[in-house]
């Protein structure tokens, strides 16, 4: 059930992978139905698009917090239904796990996120994707662009050593992703994908 034992980065696995933020074996406390009518629930964050989803599961699934689930798996999987949700819809247990899960995803997919620094583009004449990251102003952005023009960045440590003033580039990305997850009125989103109807 879990892809974490495969040793491969999540970005190379087939289908949509979600990391379990919280598991409610007895369903939601807000559900007034009798216990025997309630299904277990899990709350996940997708690895590729950072979407939050609520999963309705089969009875007695083998699911734990931190597991990676194949969300596209057919009828033999534990998932009966899934739906996109907002950050405010998460139970408190999921909210307490989300920081760790986002950091784990960024750490486990370093090439993907270093490529963001290598490939970030202007959004408007005055605003660049790099400026959306916490603590990156015009001067630091220009230093980043100058360094990547010399040669692409290879790792987070390469970024930190070559760009003066950029401390912990991984943590900067984690902060931005969490901001995009928590704030529903941001004008620009880089990492968290929204459905067209939202």
pTM of the model as a whole: 0.85
Range of the domain at 163: 110-182
Predicted local confidence at residue 59, as pLDDT = 78
SS3 of residue 131 by DSSP: helix
Judge if 163 and 130 occupy the same domain.
Answer: yes
Write out the chain's pLDDT in tens, 198 residues. 344 333 444 334 457 899 999 999 888 878 888 877 888 999 999 999 999 999 999 877 888 999 999 988 755 678 888 999 999 999 999 999 999 999 999 999 999 999 999 999 999 988 999 999 999 999 999 999 999 999 999 999 999 999 999 989 999 999 999 999 999 888 999 999 876 543
Give the number of domains in the chain.
Answer: 2
Predicted local confidence at residue 74, as pLDDT = 58
Predicted local confidence at residue 2, as pLDDT = 40
User: The domain spanning residue 178 has which CATH number?
Assistant: 1.10.150.280
How far does CA 107 lie from the centroid of its chain?
11
Judge if 73 and 115 occupy the same domain.
Answer: no
Kind and range of the H or E element at 144? helix 138-150
Whether residue 75 is contained in a domain is answered as yes
Whether residue 28 is contained in a domain is answered as yes
Whether residue 47 is contained in a domain is answered as yes
User: The domain spanning residue 43 has which CATH number?
Assistant: 2.40.50.140
Alpha carbon separation from 8 to 4, 14, 65, 68, 102 (Å, rounded): 8, 11, 20, 12, 17
Asked if 24 and 91 touch (Cβ cutoff 8 Å), the reply is yes
Whether residue 72 is contained in a domain is answered as yes
Whether residue 99 is contained in a domain is answered as no
Predicted local confidence at residue 12, as pLDDT = 40
Alpha carbon separation from 22 to 47, 63, 114 (Å, rounded): 15, 10, 29
Whether residue 121 is contained in a domain is answered as yes
Question: What b/e string do you get for 104-129 counting C-beta neighbours within 10 Å, with b at 16 or more?
Answer: bbbebbeeebbebbeebeeeeeeebb
- Count other C-beta atoms under 10 Å from residue 177's C-beta: 23
Asked if 112 and 64 touch (Cβ cutoff 8 Å), the reply is no
Predicted local confidence at residue 150, as pLDDT = 96
Predicted local confidence at residue 76, as pLDDT = 63
d(CA 195, CA 45): 15
Whether residue 138 is contained in a domain is answered as yes
Predicted local confidence at residue 100, as pLDDT = 96
Judge if 77 and 133 occupy the same domain.
Answer: no
Whether residue 189 is contained in a domain is answered as no
Judge if 36 and 78 occupy the same domain.
Answer: yes
- Count other C-beta atoms under 10 Å from residue 174's C-beta: 22
């Amino acid at each position: 059930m879990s892809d974490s034992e495969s040793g491969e980065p999540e970005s190379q696995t087939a289908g949509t992978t979600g990391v379990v933020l919280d598991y409610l074996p007895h369903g939601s406390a807000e559900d007034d139905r009798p216990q025997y009518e309630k299904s277990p629930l899990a709350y996940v964050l997708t690895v590729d698009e950072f979407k939050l989803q609520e999963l309705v599961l089969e009875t007695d699934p083998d699911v734990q917090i931190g597991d990676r689930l194949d969300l596209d798996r057919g009828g033999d999987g534990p998932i009966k239904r899934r739906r996109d949700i907002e950050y405010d819809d998460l139970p408190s247990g999921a909210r307490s796990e989300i920081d760790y899960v986002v950091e784990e995803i960024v750490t486990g997919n370093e090439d993907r996120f270093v490529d963001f620094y290598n490939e970030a583009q202007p959004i408007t004449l005055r605003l660049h994707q790099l400026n959306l990251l916490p603590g990156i102003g015009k001067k630091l952005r220009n230093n980043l662009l100058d360094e990547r023009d010399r040669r692409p960045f290879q790792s987070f440590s390469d970024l930190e050593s070559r760009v003066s003033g950029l401390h912990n580039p991984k943590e900067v990305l984690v902060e931005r992703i969490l901001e995009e997850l928590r704030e529903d009125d941001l004008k620009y989103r880089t990492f968290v994908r929204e459905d067209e109807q939202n």
